[in-house]
Structure 1
Amino acid sequence: MIEEKIKSIGIKIPIPPNPAGSYIPVVKSGNLLFVSGQIPMEDGKVVFTGKVSDANIETAKKAAIVCAVNILAQIKKEIGDLEKISRIVKLSGFVNAVPEFTQHPKVINAASDLLYEIFGEKGKHARVALGVSSLPLNSMTEIDAIVEIK
């Protein structure tokens, strides 16, 4: 049902990107999954790079959506079935922003809204949205997640 919902909104869950450093993509502890920060990668390339400003906020929202899709891809690789997700607990969103940019929540809302659209009430979560001076590979956004599973 979840994967049908994802397909119905036009999203394809990709093969997740490999780690770009000395870490693992997902750590399972009890019934929680801690998903490492995901950047907007597609087919092994960062698709949204550079600093976020008021002029390119819509592009940054697209970057956040790709991060959320990559979170789901990592979860699917780890547990095999997105139906096992019982709750999106928390997202931490980072925006590679110019110093005067203050709309970080609007950027990360794109990821939050997507997860709510897919999971309904189970997709509502706690969150932090921060501006940072740089991100790996000059990506516009990076998002990590804590997810509860059945």
Structure 2
Amino acid sequence: MIEEKLESMGIKLPNPPTPAGSYVPAIKTGNLLFISGQIPMEDGKVLFTGKVTDDNLETAQKSARMCAINLLAQMKRELGNLDKVTRIVKVSGFVNSDSEFYQHPKVINPASDLFFEVFGEKGKHARIALGAACLPLNSMTEIDAIVEFSN
């Protein structure tokens, strides 16, 4: 059902990105799935790079949405079926921001909005949005998530 919803939204999940370091993409413990930070990567290429400023806010929002799509791809890989998601518990968003940029929540909102759009009430979550001096591979954004699931 969730995958049909994604299809109706014009979203095709990519192959989940592989880690850029010495860690695993996700860990299951109990009924929680901890997903490592996802950057706006597709087919091995970072799609959105550089510092976020007031001038490129819309591009940064696209970057955050792509991170959320990669989080969905990791959920699918780990759970086999997105219908097993019972709650998006927490999202942490990091923004590769210029020192004079203060709109971090606005950058991460499209990721949060996507989870709500896809999962409805189950997509509402706790969140943090932070600025960072730099992010891996010079990506504009990086987002991780904690997800509750059923077996």
Determine if the alignment matches structure 1 residue 92 to structure 2 residue 92: yes
Q: How does 1:1-150 map to 2 (within 5 A)?
A: 1-150=1-150
Q: Deviations over 1:89-121 (max 9, x none)?
A: 000000000001000000000100011000000
Q: Quote how far apart the aligned CAs of 1:48 are.
A: 0.1
TM-score by length of 1: 0.99
Counterpart of 1:137 in 2: which secondary structure?
helix
Q: What residue identity is the alignment partner of 2:52?
A: V
Percent sequence identity over aligned pairs: 71
Q: What residue identity is the alignment partner of 1:3?
A: E
Counterpart of 2:128 in 1: which secondary structure?
strand
Q: Quote how far apart the aligned CAs of 1:64 are.
A: 0.3
- The CA RMSD measured in Å over matched residues stands at 0.4
Structure 1 runs not aligned, ≥5 long: none
Q: Deviations over 1:4-42 (max 9, x none)?
A: 111111111111011110000000010000000000001
Q: Matched residues in 1 for 2:76 and 2:94: separation?
A: 23
Give the paired residue count: 150
Structure 2 runs not aligned, ≥5 long: none
Q: Quote how far apart the aligned CAs of 1:75 are.
A: 1.1
Q: Matched residues in 2 for 1:114 and 1:56: separation?
A: 20
Runs of 4+ aligned residues of structure 1 deviating over 3 Å after TM superposition are none
TM-score by length of 2: 0.98
Q: What residue identity is the alignment partner of 2:50?
A: G
Q: Matched residues in 1 for 2:54 and 2:16: separation?
A: 30
Q: Matched residues in 1 for 2:11 and 2:99: separation?
A: 32
Q: What residue identity is the alignment partner of 1:95?
A: V
